[in-house]
Amino acid sequence: MTTATVDRVEGVPRQRRARPSTGRSFPLAGWLFISPAMLLFLLFILGPFVAAMALSLYSYDLLTPAEFVGLKNFRALASDDLLIKALGNTFVFAFASVVTHLIGGLLLAVAVNRGLNKVLSYFIRTAVFFPFLISWAAVALLWKYVLDPSFGILSYYLGLIGIEAPGWFTDPNWALPSIIGIDFWHTIGYTFLIMLAGLQTVPNEMTEAARVDGANRAQIFFFVTLPLMTPTMFFASVITFIGAFQIFDPVQIITGGGPNDATITAVMYLYQTGFQAFQIGYASAIALVVFAVIMIVTIVQFWGSRKWVHNA
């Protein structure tokens, strides 16, 4: 665990200046050492980033020469109903993902942290975390069958207890919630581990002191543990949102965006316009919108964190 390493960022340059013994160094060494990374950075991150911004001002189909169209792509975006639908779906998915992962991950971590039987603790950690390591491709295909209306196990067992299962992927009202559920199964283990690591940072002395003062278990949780967990929850909410807003694999594999565009997501729409319809300029404009949304939401999260995150 390397939690302590982070604090030292600011201190380092000062420390360096205090020591004159770097005499043998010359700037060329530094540049040489960063040159492979910088070259790749320019070629595959910064360059493409600038190129994407430029491309968004063009109309380009890979075959005929690109034509400069100014802001036409962005004007078209504003009235593109499918994009609005895709952004709406993606927001619903990302919001549901953040809420379910935070609550589920925290509850699981708190429960596991209660000093359970060792075997049970090992079992639950393994069972909850392992799905995270399976590729989305395998997870999506598996769940397509788990939720199959004719031979899927979920529909069958729901039927046994008298619940008639909906057409998970064919009913427009159920398709997106189904994807949300599958995503929960797939990635809850990651949030769970982060929460578990966060719980280790809550000092025992604090909960112990509260206990001595007569606080009951619920009071300790809500007034001691939870406030001290807010930095971890904040971090988890930021990365869960960023990841969820780029959701693509399961919808592409399971529903293809259907039924009736009920599960089309922003990145999926980007994929369809860019790599199936080859509207490169328009797809670049969509990519910029996705980027902007992620940036804005992240900034808002950081800004809002002052209100609820301990020591933010």
Partner 1 sequence: MSTEVVSSKRRLDAGARRRPPFRVGRLVISVVLFVVGVLMLAPLVWLISTSLTDPVEAFRLPPSWLPVPFSLQNFRDVVDLIPLGQMALNSLIVTVISVLGSLFTASLAAYAFSRLPFPGRDSIFVVLLTALMVPTQLTIIPIFILMRNLGLIDHLTALWLPALINVFAIFFLRQYFNSIPRDLDEAARIDGAGHLRILFQIMIPLAGPALSALAILGFESSWNNYFGPLIFLTSPEKMTLPIGLVSLSAGQGGGPAVVVFAGITLVVLPMLVVFLAFQRAFVESVASVGIRG
Instruction: Tell me which residues in 68-107 interact with partner 1 (CB under 8 A).
Output: none
Q: Does 306 bind partner 1 (CB under 8 A)?
A: no
Q: Does 275 bind partner 1 (CB under 8 A)?
A: yes
Rounded Cα gap, residues 291 and 273, in angstroms: 16
Q: What residues from 182 to 241 belong to the interface with partner 1 (CB under 8 A)? A: 185, 190, 193-194, 196-198, 201, 208, 211-212, 214, 216-218, 231-232, 234-236
Rounded Cα gap, residues 203 and 288, in angstroms: 43
CB of 20 to partner 1, least distance (A): 11
Site string for partner 1, 138-167 (x = CB under 8 A): x-xxxxxxx-x--x-x--x-----------
Cβ neighbours for 281, distance < 8 A, ≥ 6 positions apart:
55, 56, 57, 58, 59, 60, 66, 69, 73
Q: Does 48 bind partner 1 (CB under 8 A)?
A: yes
95, 103 contact by CB (below 8 A): no
Q: Does 181 bind partner 1 (CB under 8 A)?
A: no
| Nearest CB to partner 1, comparing residues 95 and 132 | 132
Q: Does 134 bind partner 1 (CB under 8 A)?
A: yes
Rounded Cα gap, residues 201 and 175, in angstroms: 39
**Cis amide prior to 250 (ω within 30 degrees):** no
CB of 275 to partner 1, least distance (A): 6
149, 155 contact by CB (below 8 A): yes
Give the residue, chosen from 99, 116, 209, 296, that forms a contact with partner 1 under the rule CB under 8 A. 116
DSSP, collapsed to helix, strand or coil, labels residue 87 as helix
Give the residue, chosen from 83, 108, 109, 224, that forms a contact with partner 1 under the rule CB under 8 A. 108
